[in-house]
Structure 1
Amino acid sequence: MRIGMTITINNKQVEVVAQEVLQQIVFDQMGENPKGIAVAVNGQVIPKDFWIETKVKENDELLIIKATQGG
């Protein structure tokens, strides 16, 4: 049985699977090929290479930013 937890993503509360890794949460939010994405957990930027090993905990606050082109 999978048990959920509440986290905040970009100032919105979201239910996710307990002990989900950051990479899966980003994929769920942004698609499986996220390019130009920066992610911070509780104010600390997490390099993309560490998304797969970073576990998200109850009440963590995520900020997901997508770079856009233009000028």
Structure 2
Amino acid sequence: MTRHIHVNGKTEPLAAATLDALLRDKGVAATARGVAVALNGEVVPAAKWTDTILTAGDELEIVRPFSGG
């Protein structure tokens, strides 16, 4: 049975053990400015990304800045 998480409203397989690993897989560096992450409704400071373990069923919201208007 595949374990899943929800990222920005989309279901995907749980393929990373930590929040930092998931963000790196998505091209978000730990040093990226302006990125905000909420895990199960709670904001996770960037300093805690490497220590935050992901589990099946987690709900993540990743907000990144973008240019344009």
TM-score, normalized by length of structure 2?
A: 0.81
Number of the residue aligned with 2:15: 17
- Residue 23 of structure 2 contacts residue 29 of structure 2 at CA under 8 Å; is this kept in 1? no
Q: Which has the higher strand share?
A: 1
CA spacing shift, 1:9–1:32, aligned 2, 3 Å: closer
The alignment of Structure 1 onto Structure 2 pairs a total of residues equal to: 67
Q: Aligned equivalents of 2:2 and 2:58: distance in 1?
A: 13
Q: Aligned equivalents of 2:63 and 2:55: distance in 1?
A: 20
Specify every segment of 5 or more residues in structure 1 that has no aligned partner in the other structure, as ranges: none
Q: Aligned equivalents of 1:69 and 1:43: distance in 2?
A: 26
Q: Aligned equivalents of 1:32 and 1:70: distance in 2?
A: 19
